[in-house]
Structure 1
Amino acid sequence: MRGWTIFAGVLAALASPLAAQETRVAPEGHTPPPATLDQVDWLVGQWTGTGIGGAPAMESWLPPSGGTMVGTFIQETGEGGIRFTEHLYLMEEEGTLVLRLKHFNADLTGWEEKDGMLTFRLIAVEDCAAYFHALTLRCRNPSFPGEGLLAAVRMQSGGELVFRFDALGPEHPQRCPDAMTTIDMNQCYADVLGRADERREAYLAKAVEMHADRPELAKEIAASDAAFLAYRNAECGAVYEDWKEGTIRGVMGLTCSISMTDSRTLTIWSNWLTYMDSTPPVLPKPKPTP
């Protein structure tokens, strides 16, 4: 497994041990369970996020073709170039699934030997998740499979490298594509959070105004938002703490806050700015903050 040795050697120093590990390791003599590509159709799409050293990363998966799903992974440098890429095959084989991949440098020279590759055997398929030996692919939120993807790989050191991706598309715009440094990324994501908060406050103000004839209800709506902010600060503060050893910590904490804020705005809209009949909503349905 020379390829695995290269992979681990390059990335081990970048992998921070997590309190609760995302990856699993197959026990001795484990037999991969029955599985088909239909069980991992939630992977199909383009996913973008922050990768090694806070630099942008992207993963893409095509629909099945000939019993195989083809995927690609791109890790950028902090200066906007390509650091390395992966070419992935998720295959049906002997009634189960196996994932194989090869790494390439920016000049298309391979990490592995000419005919070499990394092979990850399946441990389990669960709701919106596929666990391979030392590698995990799962939905960030099983209730909303199209919103985000988590990919994790366990290093020989025992730590993990974890990528958290958002869906890329009209409903999930790519954020901060021009940010090149950690400082730029932090500032850009802080600006996104500022826009998300401005819209939340506008929707909240309209909700309170719409129910001004019921003072107690308007008071409770406002109080619920204060409670949300306290919860957001605690939850996303915990995310920041989890990533405090890495330069990505700022972006991870801000991403948490943006996601929770967008969800809160949608809740305000759904509960207080829409009607049970065909009457148009008071304000447009909020989409993820670009």
Structure 2
Amino acid sequence: MSVFAAVFALFGNVAWAAQNVAVCANSKDTVELTACMNGQLELKIAKFQKYFLAAQKQDSVVWGSAKELIKTQEAWEKYLRQHCDSLYSREQGSARFYETAACQLRMYDDRIHEIWMSHLTYRDATPPLLPDPQQ
């Protein structure tokens, strides 16, 4: 991995952590924190669905089918479950619920941005179909 990529990844995760900590900062205990994180996850999934449905529509119009997008999404969902569930199984106590939700939030952020870059933007000056999800 290049130094630039490593620095970019580090700052991206710092920004993500700050954003989600700020949203759930008033949580009084791990139960409230987990509930807050799960609420954030529901919002993130709704955002994902908006971008994914737009990408499916775009692929169907431009390429005649969204089959490959759907196939890659199924693989991604399998990876999401395996990866985040592994964090759940290694943690003890209530921290496992927070860690699993945090993992899923990070992965959904990355997936939404990848779908946006790969399916909803253009190589020329044409504006993207949806706004940059990281803005």
TM-score by length of 1: 0.41
Query: Shift of the alpha carbon at 1:268?
Result: 0.3
Partner of 1:228: 76
- Alignment match of 1:208 (pick from 56, 63, 66): 56
Unaligned 5+ segments in structure 2 are none
Work out whether residues 16 and 106 of structure 2, in 8 Å CA contact, stay in contact via their aligned partners in 1.
Answer: no
Amino acid at match of 2:11: G
Partner of 2:23: 175
Superposed CA offset, 1:33-84 (max 9, x none): xxxxxxxxxxxxxxxxxxxxxxxxxxxxxxxxxxxxxxxxxxxxxxxxxxxx
The structure 1 segments of at least 4 consecutive aligned residues displaced by more than 6 Å after TM superposition are: none
Between the two proteins, the alignment pairs up a number of residues equal to 130
Identify if the C-alpha distance between structure 1 residues 242 and 175 changes in structure 2 by more than 3 Å, giving closer, same or farther. farther
Matched ranges for 1:148-187 at <5 A: 148=13, 166-168=16-18, 172=19, 174-187=22-35
Query: Shift of the alpha carbon at 1:143?
Result: 4.5
C-alpha distance in 1, partners of 2:64/2:74?
Answer: 17
Larger helix share, 1 or 2: 2
- Alignment match of 1:242 (pick from 66, 71, 90): 90
Structure showing greater Rg: 1
Matched ranges for 1:4-15 at <5 A: none
Partner of 2:117: 270
Amino acid at match of 1:190: N
C-alpha distance in 2, partners of 1:261/1:240?
Answer: 17
Work out whether residues 148 and 167 of structure 1, in 8 Å CA contact, stay in contact via their aligned partners in 2.
Answer: yes
Larger strand share, 1 or 2: 1
Query: Shift of the alpha carbon at 1:250?
Result: 0.6
Matched ranges for 1:44-63 at <5 A: none
C-alpha distance in 1, partners of 2:29/2:118?
Answer: 40
C-alpha distance in 1, partners of 2:77/2:48?
Answer: 11
Q: Are 2:102 and 1:255 aligned?
A: yes
C-alpha distance in 2, partners of 1:264/1:229?
Answer: 10
Partner of 1:197: 45
RMSD: 2.2
Identify if the C-alpha distance between structure 1 residues 198 and 185 changes in structure 2 by more than 3 Å, giving closer, same or farther. same
Superposed CA offset, 1:230-287 (max 9, x none): 11010000111121x2321111111000000010000000000001011111000002
C-alpha distance in 1, partners of 2:113/2:16?
Answer: 18
Superposed CA offset, 1:173-223 (max 9, x none): 52311211221111111111111111111101001111223334x111112
Amino acid at match of 1:144: A
Query: 1 or 2 for the larger relative contact order (CA 8 Å, sep ≥6)?
Result: 2
Partner of 1:145: 10
TM-score by length of 2: 0.85
Task: Say which SS state the counterpart of residue 23 (structure 2) adopts.
Answer: coil
Work out whether residues 204 and 222 of structure 1, in 8 Å CA contact, stay in contact via their aligned partners in 2.
Answer: no
